[in-house]
Structure 1
Amino acid sequence: MAHDPAERPLVVVWETGEGEGGPREGELDAAQARDLVRQVAAFGRPAPLFVVSGADPFRRDDLPALIDYGAGLGVRTALSPTGAPALGGDQLRAVRDAGAVGLVLGLDGATPELHDAVRDLPGAYRRTLDTWDTARALGVKVRIDTAVTRRNLRGLPDIVRLAHRRGAALWSACFPVPTLPERGVRALTAGEVEDVLHFVYDAGLAVPVKTTGAHHFRRVALQRRILADRGEDHAAILRLGPLYRELRDRVPRARTRPPLDADADTGRGFVHVSPTGTVHPGGCLPLDAGNVRRAPLTSLYRTSPLFTGLRAAGMLGGRCGACEFRRVCGGSRSRAYGVTGDPYAEEPWCAYQPGSFPYRREVARALAARYARPRPAKPPFAARRAAEEPPL
């Protein structure tokens, strides 16, 4: 049975605070963090992937015990430090032994010059690769996240090569939400984003891929599969630009078909919990659905007006509301809100014009196969199993 985003998210991210050794005043303490894990488990099995994030979640003394507690409840936990901490073998061994399923590391350039410049953090590249080496030696799976900006656009194939060579479990191309000017760096155009998304699809020939903040990647993947089945030239049919061709020509190839992971959509598979327990549909969508200290996470996700509204395709405006791919895509609600102040506005970084894809019948059949499945009125959670485990 397919994953039902109205009932259960794929991913719950908890952002920890910056306190050394434990939470600061007002943040979830050890007992409240365990209660949050219980709330994640309450969604049923398979439970959402629980990601502990923050600049350095390893600062929390209770982290290994929390991971172990979650494992006992059937909750898989991954770690995603958003900074560039120098993680030693003892730290990684402790979370591995507790049951952590993986580690997410940010890599925005394949050279120290580029990565450190993009991050504005001297030495970050070396610390990241040292941590990656330590994790590999301990058998810990590593996912690589890359923030796609104008500064590193043409270096993306080099990052894919590095991820392929070092055996990354997954590479995620992360598209930022432009709520503030990027220090004078001009934002990507919708056409450039389209070219990059098709490059990401091709990069799946070298390493498993996904996107973050680019929900229209689902539309791209569906278009590419239809065109491949028909033997069509996707670059010509979709009128992709020179940036795509430049990036594509440098993709290493090791597979015959790209393995892809779905991008958890804002409100339709993703939950962000702040250090103080406030629940948001996304880390870059600062709208408040409630707090896990006062209401169960299951209730907030399933019934709050914020989450139910964001899951309703009929609420979408502009091109997103008119698009035949809206059920599979829906656009980034975080980016729509960041650019326009309206979370239901059209996706600003999507170049697709609704109705322009020539194989409408094939699209309709693919969407019908995905969504028009008969379901019992109230199936038990044991029967509502995702086709695959959620991505690392």
Structure 2
Amino acid sequence: MSARPVRRQHQDVTDKPFIVIWESTRACPLACRHCRAQAVPDRDPRELDTEAAKDLLHQVASFGHPAPLFVITGGDPFQRPDLLELIAHGRQAGVPVAVSPSGTPTLTAENLRAVHEAGAVGLSLSLDGPTATLHDGFRGVPGVFRWTLDAWDTARALGMKVQINTTVSRHNLYDLPEIAALVHQHGVMLWSAFFLVPTGRGRDLAALTPAETEDVLNFVYDVGLTIPAKTTEAHHFRRVAVQRAVLAARGEDHVEALGLGPLYRRLRQHAGELGLGEATRRVRRPPLDVNAGRGFVFVSHTGTVHPSGFLPLGAGSVRTRPLPEIYRESELFVGLRDPDRLGGKCGRCEFRRLCGGSRSRAHAVTGDPYAEEPWCAYVPGSFPHQRELAALLTPPS
């Protein structure tokens, strides 16, 4: 194994995050079944106004060069009339800005061109089904699928980096290969499989079992040689990447060694039928070692600071305390960066420093952000090749 299967962050995670997500508004015309923000039609008067948002950008810049990536999300960011002004201000402040809009009629070629010209470095779009029936049904409004595909193609034609996010839930579980094929056809910088956290409207959606989660994680790993793929709120994907690298180096069958189930076999077979079994990339994109509060920070529409948008515990407000100070010194963020505070099997797991599980899902299910990951099937110490693991799990000096 010449390359490490997981990428470590270059910066000191106790000093600077890799990414800052800003929920610019909760206003959105969609009614997505999984919405974390429980978005509403109208803007909240408590939102950070233009000057407060510009101040937030300067707070992000004060982390030091290179500044963290700043993602403007929502709700729908296009509901803010100052969106272009803020993107341009971020560029002037030395902060790379990406935009994550909702799939609405605001996703016009004109708007996307303006976002690009203002200086946005990338665009993130959601695709939760390979057909209009599935995607629009999940998003609650007809026409979203077409708007999303058109915006995707327009952004690519403009030369923008595009990330496609797919919420993995029971409504599309068996359609993931077709979604991946669509991603391959249209082309992306990155496909992110988002594993649902039961917060907001997402509480009403049926959860995956830990065994099903393992099957899907291994499927995402497989398609990584066809499309650049990652996961969101499935930090055990990093464990899977390490396990698969060890097994491949030893020439062992991963299906048998990892006890993968019928869902994995079905996904893999369907992917092969769609031509996704043929490698078109020389190497996989190694997953990045990021977790809630550890390289990641979320700022709400009102300015409150959280380790993740799916972890509603607050650590302060950017209106009253600088973001770098909150990130570096707050008890919540410091605690989440300490793997020795993890409970249950996460605390006993040899992968705890690399994975750590979804702190958001642990909190959503148990009320304790340090509890074990509810969607993980791995039994600590059960992987047979612990010596090879130890070499890969030791941080490089």
Q: What TM-score do you get using the length of structure 1 for normalisation?
A: 0.90
Question: 3-state SS of the aligned residue for 2:133?
Answer: helix
Q: How does 1:283-302 map to 2 (within 5 A)?
A: 283-302=309-328
Cα displacement (A) at 1:89? 1.9
Cα displacement (A) at 1:85? 4.3
Q: Specify the alignment match of 1:93 in structure 2.
A: 113
CA deviations on 1:314-360 (whole Å, 9 max, x unpaired) are 10000000000000000001000000001100000000000001111
Q: Specify the alignment match of 1:4 in structure 2.
A: 12
Cα displacement (A) at 1:369? 3.7
How far apart, CA to CA, are the structure 2 residues paired with 1:150 and 1:362?
Answer: 35
Equivalent AA in structure 2 for residue 155 of structure 1: D
Equivalent AA in structure 2 for residue 12 of structure 1: V
Does 1:326 pair with 2:352?
yes
CA deviations on 1:224-255 (whole Å, 9 max, x unpaired) are 11111222211111111111111122331312
CA deviations on 1:22-66 (whole Å, 9 max, x unpaired) are 974221111111111111111112211100001221222222222
Q: Specify the alignment match of 2:231 in structure 1.
A: 211
Equivalent AA in structure 1 for residue 49 of structure 2: D
Cα displacement (A) at 1:303? 0.7
Does 1:277 pair with 2:279?
no
Equivalenced residues, count: 370
Residues 159 and 19 of structure 1: CA distance in aligned 2, closer, same or farther (over 3 Å): closer
Equivalent AA in structure 2 for residue 226 of structure 1: V
Does 1:109 pair with 2:117?
no
Q: Is 259-268 or 338-347 further displaced after alignment? A: 259-268
How far apart, CA to CA, are the structure 2 residues paired with 1:227 and 1:103?
Answer: 35
How far apart, CA to CA, are the structure 2 residues paired with 1:244 and 1:163?
Answer: 20
Q: How does 1:57-72 map to 2 (within 5 A)?
A: 57-72=77-92
How far apart, CA to CA, are the structure 1 residues paired with 2:204 and 2:303?
Answer: 34
Unaligned 5+ runs, structure 1: 374-392
Question: 3-state SS of the aligned residue for 2:135?
Answer: helix
How far apart, CA to CA, are the structure 2 residues paired with 1:64 and 1:316?
Answer: 41
CA deviations on 1:52-81 (whole Å, 9 max, x unpaired) are 001221222222222122122321111012
Q: Is 81-90 or 212-221 further displaced after alignment? A: 81-90
Q: Percent identity?
A: 58
The answer to whether the Cα contact below 8 Å between 2:127 and 2:148 also exists between their aligned partners in 1 is: yes
How far apart, CA to CA, are the structure 2 residues paired with 1:18 and 1:163?
Answer: 27
Q: Is 237-246 or 327-336 further displaced after alignment? A: 237-246
Residues 111 and 205 of structure 1: CA distance in aligned 2, closer, same or farther (over 3 Å): same
Q: Specify the alignment match of 1:347 in structure 2.
A: 373
Q: Specify the alignment match of 2:97 in structure 1.
A: 77
Question: 3-state SS of the aligned residue for 1:13?
Answer: strand
Q: How does 1:362-381 map to 2 (within 5 A)?
A: 362-370=388-396, 373=397
Question: 3-state SS of the aligned residue for 1:298?
Answer: helix
The answer to whether the Cα contact below 8 Å between 2:359 and 2:369 also exists between their aligned partners in 1 is: yes
Cα displacement (A) at 1:17? 1.6
How far apart, CA to CA, are the structure 1 residues paired with 2:72 and 2:293?
Answer: 19
How far apart, CA to CA, are the structure 1 residues paired with 2:293 and 2:105?
Answer: 30
Q: Specify the alignment match of 1:376 in structure 2.
A: none
Residues 82 and 74 of structure 1: CA distance in aligned 2, closer, same or farther (over 3 Å): same
The answer to whether the Cα contact below 8 Å between 1:268 and 1:311 also exists between their aligned partners in 2 is: yes
The answer to whether the Cα contact below 8 Å between 1:206 and 1:255 also exists between their aligned partners in 2 is: yes
Cα displacement (A) at 1:19? 6.0
Cα displacement (A) at 1:3? 3.1
How far apart, CA to CA, are the structure 1 residues paired with 2:61 and 2:250?
Answer: 43
The answer to whether the Cα contact below 8 Å between 1:135 and 1:142 also exists between their aligned partners in 2 is: yes
Does 1:42 pair with 2:62?
yes
How far apart, CA to CA, are the structure 2 residues paired with 1:217 and 1:249?
Answer: 21
Unaligned 5+ runs, structure 2: 1-8, 29-41
Q: Specify the alignment match of 1:378 in structure 2.
A: none
Q: Specify the alignment match of 2:25 in structure 1.
A: 17
How far apart, CA to CA, are the structure 1 residues paired with 2:103 and 2:60?
Answer: 25
Equivalent AA in structure 2 for residue 273 of structure 1: V
Equivalent AA in structure 2 for residue 314 of structure 1: D
Equivalent AA in structure 2 for residue 270 of structure 1: F
Of the three residues 266, 272, 277, the one matched with 1:246 is 266
Does 1:236 pair with 2:256?
yes
Question: 3-state SS of the aligned residue for 2:116?
Answer: helix
How far apart, CA to CA, are the structure 1 residues paired with 2:113 and 2:142?
Answer: 27
Equivalent AA in structure 2 for residue 281 of structure 1: P
Question: 3-state SS of the aligned residue for 2:270?
Answer: coil
Q: Is 59-68 or 216-225 further displaced after alignment? A: 59-68
Question: 3-state SS of the aligned residue for 2:100?
Answer: strand
Question: 3-state SS of the aligned residue for 1:129?
Answer: helix
How far apart, CA to CA, are the structure 2 residues paired with 1:365 and 1:260?
Answer: 17
